[in-house]
Structure formats: structure tokens, C-alpha cells
A and B are shown apart, each in its own frame.
Chain A
Amino acid sequence: MLIRPHVRYPRTRREMLTDCFCGFGTLAMAGMAGADLARSAPAKFNPLAPKAPHEPANAKAKSVIFLFMAGGPSHLETFDPKPLLNKLDGQKRPAEFGNIQYQNVNAQSRILGTKRTFKKYGKSGIEISDLFPHQAEIADDLCVIRSMHGDMVVHSAAQYQMMTGRVIPGFPAMGSWVVYGLGSEAENLPAYVVMPDSHGAQEAGVPMYTNGFLPSVYQPTMFRPGEKPVLNLDLPKGVSLDERKRSIKLLRDLNESGMGEDLEFAARMSAYETAFKMQTEAPKVFDLNTETKETLDMYGVGNPLTDDYGRRCLMARRMVENGVRFVCVVSGGGGPEAEWDAHNDIEDNHLRMASWTDKPVAALIKDLKRKGLLDSTIVMWGGEFGRSPESEKSKGRDHHNTGFSMWMAGGGFKGGTVYGATDDIGLKAIEKPVHFRDLHTTVLHQLGLNQDALSFMHLGRKERLTEVRGEVLKEIIS
């Protein structure tokens, strides 16, 4: 197999110098200050400079927003109606559906019917349950995949696979890969943002969002709750902006005084310039007060139920509007009752989770659409798995990785479509099964990235997001 070198971030100063001398050489150095140099330099010099996609013709989208429903939302209560479940309620699973491995439910468990009712919505007539009245309004924008499957039935490993393509920690997340492939178009903002749920952590923890073995420049910025989401953007206590400007000038003068012509030090100085600009510019993007009341209301900002997720969805829109490449907005954390992890009572849990997220999710799609951003933004909705047709503890549902639903919107995905199917009780994906790696491949494809070209040598292996090749889901993209 031919190993095609990907445009690679130089890993050491020496490699960088090589790249630079071959690329644009020392002549550009003369008479250029650090920041100008970094701006005009090719991607090899500034690892976050925007890069051309591998396959520009495929590049429908520029950004991704992943609405991560942590804990595993039930397909049976949301996007995959199974009337047979209610008929079989209380009975053992008929043998013809076969067997699978579960975390908790066992051979003695009984099928659990659903209390949700499904209706067809929009011109496309996609069936959505009454759990999501707001998402029902955007049915024609959604491409619902009903045949998702993954390899793991426990949270941490399944979350690693969903985010990084591998069931163990230590591999780069989708967001890091995408920024590695495309760079950033947001000079004053982080390129890859994760907005965690303030209720607490997910099982796989921070390692599922991080850069793994990719250089640290591709790590996510983990937003903090509140109005100052990014760590270290504020000046230290007691230091005024004027004072800091002066001390940064001293720093620049001192560094320049001993520098001579040195590309690495120039890059460092430009990092300081960028840092300083982020400090003054980014807070403007974080300030939601510039939004109209109508917009705030649409996202449910101000309503105690939807305020938190609404703010974060709105922030996500503002991020992609300003060139941020990848945003993950997490719903669920801190334990089963504040995640979609409905072991105890599917009704109680999902009604609560839906009440926090349904309206903001729908608002995000509508808002992106009216701002003309939906075409260039891939929005993904879903969790690490679905939930079991059998009951756990009589009213709950267990983890379920062999057939569940996710949806895609924008970014060249065909709205108003349903793809794939599970069997009649939602146990297994039987029609056009979609593995996480297929979804990853398709997302990369829509960004103009090729799953093989987007690779990085690590411990002797050419690693990529999809590990083994995924398929591009051609039927659901335009």
C-alpha cells in the first residue's frame, strides 16, 4: 500500500524549519513581524491555518456541531416506532429475533411497550414521537438513521468508539481530526470546542474529547459553565489591560532583542499576538446579550428547563458563525438521572431529558437555517447507543448497541429522509446497518476530507479516525 503523506503538522522545530525552508524559505522572514509572518505563512508553518480539503468537490460543509446525547437515548421512544412492542409488552422476547449481549437485562427480562405515540411530520412524513414536539417541526431538515450500531454495550467504551473510532482511550476525537485536516477559520477563537453538561461528567471522561496522539494544538477547548467559558482569557486580578499591554510590549522587545532570524521564535511571538487578540475578541462572541429577545426565546433561554442547553446551543451557532470548526454540545452527565441513561424509568428519564433539550435543538436548526449557515454546517444528534426493547427493573431500559437511531442535518445531508431499519422490536439493525465508522467516514466526506488521507503516523501505524475503512453513506448526501 502506498503511504501518502498527509499535510502534517511539523513535530519538532527542526522538522518545521525543514518544511519552512522548502516551503517558503527565509526570504519571507526579512522585514516581517511575527504575526504577519504567521498569517502569510503556509499551513505547514501555522498548524491552525485553514487548509484546503483533500477533495474540494465533496466539501459541502465547513463546520460540525455534534449534539451529544450522553447515556444513550432510546430509539424506541424517539425516532423508531415499533407498534409490536406494545403488543408484546410483558412477554419474553420471541426467539425469532435472536440474542444479543446486554449490560443488565437477561433471559428473564420482559419486553417493555412504549407510552409514547408517533405521528408523521412535515412533507416528508418522518415519524417522530411526542417526546420531541419541537424536533417534529424540523422533520423535513432531518436525515434520521435508524440502523446505527456500535461494538460496545458499556458507556465508556461505546463513547470512545463514537468519538474516536476506537473502543479504548488514547485516540484522537473527531473534532481533533477535523481540525488537523482543515485547520481553523477562527483566528480569535478556539478551533474545537466542547461544551460539557454542568451536571457532571460522562463515563468516558475528558479523554474521549481530546487529541490523543495528535499534537496538543489540536486539543479541544473545554468550555466552563457561566459567562467566561474559556480558561485563562481573563487578565489576572489587579492587572489592567493597559498595564498588560505594556508588559507584553516589554516581552516582545526582550524576545526580539536576542532573536535574529528565527522561525520558531517568530511562531512563538505570533502565538502571543493571537493569545492577546483572543483575550479581547473572544468575549464578544461569548456575549449572548447581543441576541434579540425573539432568538433567546426561541432557544428557551430564560426558561429554567431549557436555559442551560439553550444557551449552549445558541453559543454553538455563534461559534460556527465565527469560523469554529467543531463544536460538541453535551446533554447529560453526572449519573443516570441527568443523562439519557434510563435504567430505572424510561418515561421519567426521557421526559426530563427531552424537556431540557428538545426546544433548543430545534431552535438551533431553525436558526442556522435562517442565517444561511445550515448548508455549511453538519449537525449530528445522538448518543453512544440506544436502549433495549426489554425492560430493566420493570420500567427502565438497558443499554443497547445493536440497533439505534441518530440524525444528521445540514452540511449536504438530505433532509426529510429515513435511512436503514431495525427489526420489528428494534433489537437489531437489519436494513442498511450503519456503523460509527461509516458515520465518521461520511462526515469527513462532507467536509471534503478523505478517511485514508487524514492519517497520522503513531507508534509505527498510520492511524486514522475510521481505523478500518468506513463506507460513505451515498444515499443520504447530496
Chain B
Amino acid sequence: MMKQLCAVFLVTALALGAAEEKIAPLGTYKPAERNYWAFQPRKKVAPPAVAGVRNPVDAFIADGLRKVGLRSAPTANKETLIRRVTFDLTGLPPTPAEIKAFVQDQSPKAWENLVDRLLASPRYGEQWGRHWLDVVRFAESDGYEYDMHRPDAYRFRDYVVQSFNDDKPYNQFVKEQLAGDELDASNEILMVASGFNRLGPLRKNAGNQDVASSRNEVLTEMTNVVGSAFLGVTVGCSRCHDHKFDPFRQSDYYRLQGFFAQTHDNDLIRASADEQAAYKATVDPLTTEIRQLQFKMRRAPEEEKGKIQTQLDVLDEKMPLPLTAIYAVKNDVKKVSPLHLLFKGDYLQPLDAVGTRPLGILLPEGTPESPATGEKPRTRLAEWVTDPANPLTARVMVNRVWQYHFGRGIVSTPNDFGRMGGKPSNPELLDYLANTFVENGWKLKPIHRMILLSNSYKQASESPIEKLAMEKDAENALVWKFSRRRLEAEEIRDAMLSASGRLNGKYGGHSVLIPISQDLVKMLKRPQYWVATKDKSEYDRRTMYMIYKRNLILPYMGVFDAPDLQSSCPRREQATHAPQALELLNGQLSNDLAKSFADRLAESAKTDAERVDQAWWLAVGRAPTLKEKQLTLKYLQEKPGDPLRLKEMALDVFNLNAFLYVN
């Protein structure tokens, strides 16, 4: 009832010209709210003086540990280190040759050279770009009912990978994504970047299209990700009411949304003339037929409407995938969405009107809003986000970097620096890293380098004072050892492909659809979209090039905690459960790759002993221990020369803790 009353009110208000529309107050922020650590300017901090410590990261870590009576673990061995850092920076295992070369390299610069080589590898952009794609909930389909594919979404993925490889300054990276189209609409790369604003799920449905509701959902997606990805705050919570824990008023939310009020989709067709002609040849007759049927529908007697609708549905399903295009955005000031506070976030219940303004808590009291019709609104937003004085942006990004290196952020909740999130375990270190990041022109590689060259990163994953340390800091927030981690879903598959010698290392381009069980395809409302890629060599490409489809997460991905692609994923879970074991023991993927791995071992080594050695070097990155070798040889020699035994052994190696975890 309330909804309808308000809708009536809205219509009336519009009819009257809405001249008397009330503007929402600008909001006031108490000193206690302003004094919260995350909204305070970054402190100028110098690394504490610790005897014999030169790396700033080590100084902060040592100081933090000393305060609670802990100390660092000794340095890990070289085999462990090269495996750790190679997975960390590239998502792939080191080759046996790389391991041996590093182990034998006695130069004092061996580690530094290794780090530099990996940072320069184009695999770095794939691995760290994939992290960013998690954060911005990148997917290659719309989600919801039709889950229509976005066949050109790969352009955004490749843009991200390239940006990381180029070590593009982060402030520029943010600006390009928020406002690439405003920066230079003639630059294709920037237009691809602006597709960031379209990454969220998109609802389309049959019948009466409720345009206002859909627009509201689109704007919500555009707004919330600014909070979670760039600012690390849950401003999305204030969509329906003032934030319960953090100083974000509902008016802040809609003023933030104001920056997107003019933003609309802009598909830049990139198909060849021939393709466009062929597309037209298919689509035009369909469109004509649809128009005729729609015309007929309007005049048809009620009894015939059902039949016509069925014909329309059939035609709709025949529509080909859209022409290849760049998914960009543009401003259209004629189609600016009127912005109001919405009662409980309901678009049918508008309250006070708002313009645009960044978050009030980070502005002087009483900062006025600007009209939503202003020029280049997203550039203005991006400039505020990347202003060196913005206390959140740099902290949030260096914290993400820290988290991916150490498994836990200095703030343990990378998307939430608010009161419900974690407190920084080492606030001085966080500010030091963030300051350095900004001072060095927002470049990430120097930050990686500083971290990776520290002794803190090179610690073993076991500490001689484990028991004491667990009592004082069970989460290892202070980094008294290196936290062992399980490989992520993509890394597990890539490592199996790598060990079996099948990895197709091709970079970028269209995503791959592998042939999958019809049972899975049938769970899609539109199964016809799942058309396997023709070129079979593509099936062995890195996992990040397999399609990320919202309504069909491949089983091996889901079971190993891949993100659900619906909302920002700041950190992958690391669950342990039986379906993982079933997937790796009985699944088609692991068995198929185990077969190839076994074939490779059989071909390249003559004796079982050599095969076992090689299996460990390829998959685990070291020689087998004496015990491991004895056990495995015994197993193989129970049935000498049996290819099944060798394959089962290869499968066992893929199931080893030593394979699935990085120390």
C-alpha cells in the first residue's frame, strides 16, 4: 500500500514540476567519527631502528614482534623459497631447471635476481590481474535468468593483466576504470577500462520491463563497488538506512551514486564489415518477423496471444550473440537519473533529492554537493578517490598486496576498514607502505620488491617457538613465520597442467569454453550459450582464461573456493572437505591430467626410481624424501611396468599436501 501511495505521490510531484523538492541535509560528522583511525590522514612514519635490520618491512615486523616477546622464524630453504615466490608472483610452479639454477646460485644477489625476473614476467600480470578481477567481481555473463554471455569481456581482463604488467600507476588505473571514457573517448584501451562500470550482474527479464527498477539496480552495482574495491568501506550498507556502525549517512550513499547518474552503456562495435553484414543478414529478418508478430499481438484476439508469444520466444532464442564490441560507458546528460534517498532502498519510495558529493566523513563539515548534471562526473570522483590525501585508497591497496603475499592483510578484512572490520595489526607498517606507494608514483612493483626482499617474507613456515607464538598470535598477524597456504582453484589446475607438460601458455584473447557434462549445461536456462571452443588446444590454457560464467561455476572451481562472481571477493576461503577429495581423486580433470603426467614420466625417464624423482621435481618442486621414494617405489614395483600404477601414482602426487600447499 505504502509503495503505491508513494508512487502516486511521485507521479503527482513530477506533474507539478516538483519545484518544491526538498534537498537532503549535508550531514554532520562527530569528532569521534572523524577520529576513527581509517579516516585519519596517514602518519609520516620512519622504520624503527632495529639493530642489524636494513629492510624497512623487517624493521616494522621485528619491532611488532619484540613488543609481544616473539621473534621471526629462520629463513626457509631455497627450494621452498623459489616455489613460494614463483606461485606468489605467477600462479605457476617453478620448473626443475629454475629450481636447480637458483639453488646453485651462490651469488648474494640470487634472491633479488629471482624476484626481479618474476616481477618482469608477463605471468605476473596474469596472477595479480586475477586477484584484481576477484575484487571487482569480473564475470563474462550477466547472471540472473538468461545469464547472457559477454563474449568481449575478455578485453577488460586483458586490460587488467596488461596494466599490472606495465606497472601502471594505481591512481591512473583507478581513473581509467572509473572514467576512461571521460579521459579520452577515442582511446580504445580507455574505453575498455571504462567497462569496469558494467561488471556487475545485470537483470533482464521477459514481459513488462520495469525500467526504473532495473536502472536502480544498475546504479547500485556501479556505486557499491567503489566502496568495496577502492575505498575498502561498506558504504553499500547505507543504501537503505544510515550505516549502523560507520559514519556513512544514507545521503552519502545517494550522493556517491550521483556521480553515475549520467552513466549509460556504450557498445562500440568492432566487427568487420563482413561480420556486420552477416549479422545484419541474420538479425534483420528475425527483427522484421518479431515486429510483425508484436503488431499482430496488439490486435489479436485473446485466444491467439499465447500462440504468438510462443512464436516470439522461439525467435528470441534464435537471436545470435551480439557483434564483437567494446563494452564501454558514456555520459548522457539528457538521460540523467533523478536521485533521491530511497526509503529502505526502494526505488518506488523516493525521499529527499540529492546531487553529487564524495563521502562526507572525508570532507570538511558542510561541503556542498554539486549537481548530477555536471561535466565529467566520474573523473571528479576518480580524482577524489586517488587524491594523495585520501586516507583510504592507498592503505586499502597496499593492504591487498600484503594479504596476497602473506595470506592475511595487515587489516584482515581488505574490503572493510570500518568498525566491523579488523584493526590493523601493525598500523605504522600500513602507513609506511601506503606513504611509500604514493611517493613512488603509486607503482606496485617497488612495493612488491620491498616486501619480497625482506627477511620476513623469506621465513620458514614453521617456527622454533611455535607453541608460544600460537598462544600470543594464533592468526600470525604479526608475521612470526610464513603462513603456509593452499593453492587457489586456478593454481591447482595450472600446476597439474604444468606438471603433465600440457599447459598451453598462450596469453589473453577470447575465453575458452570446454566441453562439459550435459547435466551441468542443462542447469542453465539458456543452455544454447554453452558452445565449446572449437580449437581443442585451447582447453589446456591457464584457468584464468576459462570462461567465468555467473550461473555455471565449473565443479573443480566451486569445490576449491573460487568466488561466486556475484559480489566483490576480497579474499578466497580455504575450506577442507570431502567433495574436494572426490574431485581430485575421481574427477575427470585430475585423472585426465594424471594420465598425461604418467605418460610424460614414462617417456622421459627409464627407471621407476628416475620417474619418482622426476614426478616430485615437476609437481612438488624438490626431490622426494628417502621415505617418500621408498613408499612410492614399493607401490610401483608391486606391479612392475603397469601403466595404471604409474597413472595412479601421478594422481596421488596431485593429491599430496606437498603439491596442494605452498610452504
User: A232 in the interface, Cβ–Cβ < 8 Å?
Assistant: yes
- Residues of A close to B420: CB separation below 8 A: 457, 460-462
Measured as residues with beta carbon below 8 angstroms from the partner, the interface class of chain A is 35 or more
Complex formed: what's the CA distance from A106 to B583 in Å?
A: 50
From A206, A219, A221, A394, B301 is in contact (CB under 8 Å) with A394
The answer to whether B576 and A250 have CB atoms under 8 Å apart is: no
Q: Are A460 and B415 in contact (CB under 8 A)?
A: yes
A258:B657 contact, CB within 8 angstroms: yes
Q: Are B483 and A250 in contact (CB under 8 A)?
A: no
CA distance A265 to B655 in the complex (A): 12
B185 within 8 A of A: no
> Across the interface, which residues of B come within 8 angstroms of A217, CB to CB?
575-577
Check B144–A460 contact: CB distance below 8 A.
no
Q: Which bucket holds chain B's interface residue count? A: 35 or more
Cα A396 to Cα B207 with chains together (Å):
14
| Contact in complex: B145, A213 (CB < 8 Å) | no
Determine which of B302, B573, B625 lies in contact with A216 in the assembled complex, contact meaning CB atoms within 8 Å.
Answer: B573
Q: Judge whether A204 and B550 touch: CB under 8 Å.
A: no
User: Could you name 17 residue pairs across A and B whose Cβ atoms are closer than 8 Å?
Assistant: A12-B475, A14-B408, A14-B483, A15-B474, A99-B4, A205-B523, A216-B561, A231-B582, A235-B586, A247-B635, A250-B631, A272-B585, A344-B306, A393-B306, A395-B302, A460-B233, A461-B234
Q: Which residues of B contact A343 (CB under 8 A)?
A: 306, 309
Which chain A positions have C-beta within 8 A of B205?
Answer: 103, 154-157, 203
Q: Is the CB of B474 within 8 A of A14?
A: yes
| CB-CB contacts below 8 Å: B367-396 with A | none
Check: B291 CB closer than 8 A to any chain A CB. Answer: no
- Count chain A CB atoms within 10 A of each CB in B245, B476, B555, B586 and give the residue with the most: B586
CA distance A103 to B627 in the complex (A): 68
Q: Are B306 and A11 in contact (CB under 8 A)?
A: no
Residue B568 at the A interface, CB < 8 A? Answer: yes
Distance in Å: Cβ of B296 to nearest Cβ of chain A? 13
- Is the Cβ of B306 less than 8 Å from the Cβ of A207? no
Residues of B within 8 A of A274 (CB): 578, 581
> Is residue A246 contacting chain B, with contact meaning CB distance below 8 A?
yes
Decide: B566 and A170 in contact? CB cutoff 8 A: yes
Are A204 and B144 within 8 A (Cβ)?
Answer: yes
A250, B635: Cβ atoms under 8 Å?
Answer: yes
Residues on B with C-beta less than 8 A from A87 are none
Asked if A243 CB lies within 8 Å of chain B CBs, one says: yes
Is B551 in the interface zone, CB < 8 Å from A?
yes
B564 pairs with A103, CB closer than 8 A: no
Binds B, one of A134-142, A194-202, A295-303, A438-446: A194-202
**Residues of the A chain whose Cβ atoms lie less than 8 Å from the Cβ of B413:** 460
B396-417 residues with Cβ-Cβ distance < 8 A to A are 407-408, 413, 415-416
Given known contacts A200-B527, A232-B587, A459 and B234 CB-to-CB distance under 8 angstroms: yes
Q: Are B145 and A204 in contact (CB under 8 A)?
A: yes
Say yes or no for B271: interface residue by CB 8 A criterion.
no
Chain B residue nearest in CB terms to A110: B302
The distance in angstroms between the C-alpha atoms of A202 and B582, with both chains bound, is 27
Query: What are the residues of chain B within 8 A of A268 when measuring CB–CB?
Result: 576, 581, 657
Known: A243-B644, A271-B577, A394-B301. 16 other contacts (CB 8 A): A18-B475, A21-B471, A201-B523, A221-B579, A231-B555, A234-B586, A239-B648, A246-B635, A250-B649, A254-B652, A268-B657, A275-B579, A396-B306, A459-B415, A459-B567, A460-B233
Looking at the complex, which one of B143, B523, B524, B570 makes contact with A169 (CB distance below 8 Å)?
Answer: B143
Q: Select B306's contact among A155, A234, A247, A395, beta carbons within 8 Å.
A: A395
Which of A155, A169, A271, A461 touches B201 (beta carbons < 8 Å)? A169
Q: Assess whether A1 is interfacial by the CB under 8 Å rule.
A: yes
Question: Is the beta-carbon distance between A103 and B206 smaller than 8 angstroms?
Answer: yes
Task: Please measure, in the bound complex, the distance between the C-alpha atom of A196 and the C-alpha atom of B648, giving whole angstroms.
Answer: 34
A200 in complex: contacting residue of B525, B555, B585, CB < 8 Å: B525
Q: Which residues of B contact A (CB under 8 A)?
A: 4, 143-145, 147, 201, 203, 205-208, 210, 217, 228, 233-234, 236-237, 244-246, 301-303, 305-306, 309-310, 313, 407-408, 413, 415-416, 418, 420-421, 470-471, 474-476, 483-486, 517, 519, 522-525, 527, 550-553, 555, 558-561, 564, 566-568, 570, 573-583, 585-588, 591, 625, 627-628, 631-632, 635, 638, 644, 648-649, 651-652, 655-658
Interface membership of A264, Cβ < 8 A? yes
* Complex contact A202–B525 (CB within 8 A): yes
Minimum CB distance partner of B420 in chain A: A460
Flag if B407 contacts A275 (CB, 8 Å): no
Measured in the bound complex, the distance between the Cα atoms of B631 and A21 in whole Å is 32
Residues of A with C-beta under 8 A to B648: 239, 243-244, 246-247, 250
Contacts of B568 in A (CB 8 A): 459
Chain A 198-231 interface 0/1 with B at a Cβ cutoff of 8 Å (1 = within): 1011111111001111011101011011000001
Inter-chain contacts of A207 with B (CB < 8 A): 143, 550-551, 564, 566
A94 within 8 A of B: no
Taking a contact as CB atoms under 8 Å apart, the answer to whether A267 and B576 are in contact is yes
Contact with B along A146-187 (1 / 0, CB 8 A): 000000001111000000000011100000000000000000
Residues in A264-280 with C-beta less than 8 Å from chain B? 264-265, 267-268, 271-272, 274-276, 278-279
